[in-house]
Amino acid sequence: MADITNQSLNDIIENLKKKKVSSTDLTKAYIKNIESAKKLNAFVTTTFDQALDKAKQFDKKPNFDQLLPGIPLAVKDLFCTENIKTTAGSNILNNFIPSYESTVTKNLWDNGSFLLGKLNCDEFAMGSSNETSHYGNVINPVGDQLVPGGSSGGSSSALAADLTPATIGTDTGGSIRQPASFTGTVGLKPTYGLCSRWGIVAFASSLDQAGPMTKTIKDCAIMLESMSGFDEKDSTSINKKKEQYSKNLKDNIKGLKIGIPKEYRVDNMPKEIDELWEKGKKILKDLGAQLIDISLPHTKYALPTYYIVAPAEASSNLARYDGVRYGYRSKQGKDLIEMYEKTRSEGFGDEVKRRILIGTYVLSSGYYDAYYLKAQKVRQLIKKDFDDSFTKIDAILTPSTPSSAFKIGEKTNDPVSMYLNDIFTVPVNLAGLPALSLPAGVDKKGFPLGLQLIGKALDEQKILNIGYAFEKNCGFKNEIKKWWS
Ligand code: GLN
């Protein structure tokens, strides 16, 4: 049959069911792709032998009552995987082999899939380009000089290059949606608490959320259904009935009210982004949705608020890396204190150190009220803007990112311009809401661009439905030439 690896997850499952392909052949096809895509540097660890064993077991006793029957999956290296190295893109975890499995990955395996490998990411998920990883840059399959976005850059690159049929990332301030946008793929950040954080290497615990990255909306629904669910091991997990997102997918969006926030038309926004937004509005309008102008007045404070709250939480979360209990330990250091210092200065990269410094500063006595406390208050105002708007509308449409993928090295010496990349994505994390990035078009260089749909808390089904209708009518096709193999 034709190349199975460029099909959607849903089509692959259908082909497995119809016995057009076996799980073993499918797994071998991905292994072959991964082996010929070393240039992309998307993987930190591969687990081919184990994957082939699992595929063989599945083929001997196939079970199609599961959501992900016989599906090999590569996942971001931020999810702890039992007995398999988990680095979080950091040198400080270069020898960390967890003795437990994250709840989200366990849910995926319980639904019939198995691990193909661990995907590169920005160090501790701090970054927008995958350039902060200790394990090197990841290349965007869209172009050999381009970043794949971050922090889930290995995930977006592997997905777009057909190295995994679907994948998962984490999104603290945009790390699923921005790389999805840069690679012409679908990425969903679920409502905070929908997917368990248990076993995910922590960055900023009040913002971190795992979510699917896929080629289509249907695939996104399948993955979300497989990975989400209440988990008593995560105190912020939402205890609610599981939804059947893929079964309930509908493309009728007639009468839905879509909010268009004026604050997302930022200064110096490239014309192409504006045009893409207009195109998105037209598609939704033509499908019978009603466009409503809304205002989210505190939007301009979202980025500074995020870059106080996230580093504050990170500085606290990362205090555990002391070289004593697990992870890297410096061989230098005459005494305990010096060992701590050397471990942390050798183990962490520059961006992580920058965040720890900012976080420690905004939490220090004397500055706590002026920065951290103030940011927490502004966070509430940002959330209230959304709450007020959602009394009048069903969803919000915005661009996902202020630009298409940029070149490797282009922003590394200018952290503020790197942080500006998150301008459209961070408000959603601060408010705990679900948001979907949809591939919607290309810029004049031919690089993909995404649009973002934001929903009310726990309204994943609705934004998936809008995305489904949009996908059928937008005419976007992700055409990536395989220059790397
Ligand atoms: N780019 C943002 C940051 O560096 C978001 C990262 C993320 O969502 N993990 O903090």
Give tens-digit pLDDT for 69-87.
999 999 999 999 999 999 9
Q: Which atom of ligand 1 is nearest to the CA of 204?
A: 9
The share of the chain scoring above pLDDT 70, in percent, equals 100
Alpha carbons 447 and 145: distance in angstroms, whole number: 12
Please give the distance, rounded to the nearest whole angstrom, from the Cα atom of residue 394 to the centre of ligand 1: 27
Say if ligand 1 is within 6 A of residue 382 CB. no
* Tokens 């089509």 -> residue: 11
- For this structure, is 485 an active site residue? no
Full set of structural domains in the chain with CATH: 7-231+241-485 (3.90.1300.10)
Structure token digits, residue 467 = 């995305």
Phi and psi, residue 407, nearest 5°: -80, 150
Say if ligand 1 is within 6 A of residue 311 CB. no
Say if ligand 1 is within 6 A of residue 107 CB. no
**Average pLDDT in the 102-130 region?**
98
369: left (phi over 0), alpha (psi -120 to 50) or beta: alpha
Q: If you ran DSSP here, which 8-state letter would residue 319 be given?
A: G
Instruction: Indicate which residue of 54, 76, 106, 462 is catalytic.
Output: 76
Task: For ligand 1, atom 4, name the residue with the nearest CA.
Answer: 127
pLDDT per position as a tens digit, 415-467: 888 998 899 999 999 999 999 999 999 999 999 999 999 999 999 999 999 99
Please give the distance, rounded to the nearest whole angstrom, from the Cα atom of residue 104 to the centre of ligand 1: 20
Say if ligand 1 is within 6 A of residue 175 CB. yes
Say if ligand 1 is within 6 A of residue 418 CB. no
Nearest Cα neighbor of 40 from 133, 105, 115 is: 133
pLDDT per position as a tens digit, 369-406: 999 999 999 999 999 999 999 999 999 999 999 999 99
**Average pLDDT in the 222-241 region?**
98
- For this structure, is 175 an active site residue? yes
Alpha carbons 431 and 244: distance in angstroms, whole number: 25
Alpha carbons 232 and 110: distance in angstroms, whole number: 17
pTM for this predicted structure: 0.98
- Contacts (Cβ under 8 Å, ≥6 apart) of 381: 298, 301
Structure token digits, residue 146 = 């381009």
Q: Which atom of ligand 1 is nearest to the CA of 351?
A: 4
- For this structure, is 151 an active site residue? yes
Does 167 have pLDDT greater than 70?
A: yes
Say if ligand 1 is within 6 A of residue 401 CB. no
Instruction: Indicate which residue of 133, 175, 181, 315 is catalytic.
Output: 175
Q: If you ran DSSP here, which 8-state letter would residue 138 be given?
A: P
pLDDT per position as a tens digit, 330-355: 999 999 999 999 999 999 999 999 99
Alpha carbons 237 and 241: distance in angstroms, whole number: 12
* Tokens 């069911």 -> residue: 17
pLDDT band at 24 (very low <50, low <70, confident <90, very high): very high
User: Which residues partner with 84 through β-bridges?
Assistant: 81
**Order of all β-strands in the sheet with 72-76:** 43-46, 114-119, 72-76
Please give the distance, rounded to the nearest whole angstrom, from the Cα atom of residue 129 to the centre of ligand 1: 9
Does 363 have pLDDT greater than 80?
A: yes
SS3 189: strand
pLDDT band at 268 (very low <50, low <70, confident <90, very high): confident
Q: Which of 123, 155, 156, 175 to mutate to test the pocket of ligand 1 (most atoms within 8 A of CB)?
A: 175
SS3 395: strand
pLDDT band at 1 (very low <50, low <70, confident <90, very high): low
Q: Which atom of ligand 1 is nearest to the CA of 307?
A: 10
CB atoms within 10 A of CB 215: 23
Torsion of CA 48, 51, 56, 57, to 10 degrees: 150
Please give the distance, rounded to the nearest whole angstrom, from the Cα atom of residue 427 to the centre of ligand 1: 12
Say if ligand 1 is within 6 A of residue 313 CB. no
CA 69, distance to chain mean position in Å, is 23
Say if ligand 1 is within 6 A of residue 31 CB. no
Mean of all residue pLDDT scores within the chain: 97
Alpha carbons 183 and 177: distance in angstroms, whole number: 10
Does 2 have pLDDT greater than 80?
A: no
Output the pLDDT for position 238: 98
Alpha carbons 96 and 118: distance in angstroms, whole number: 13
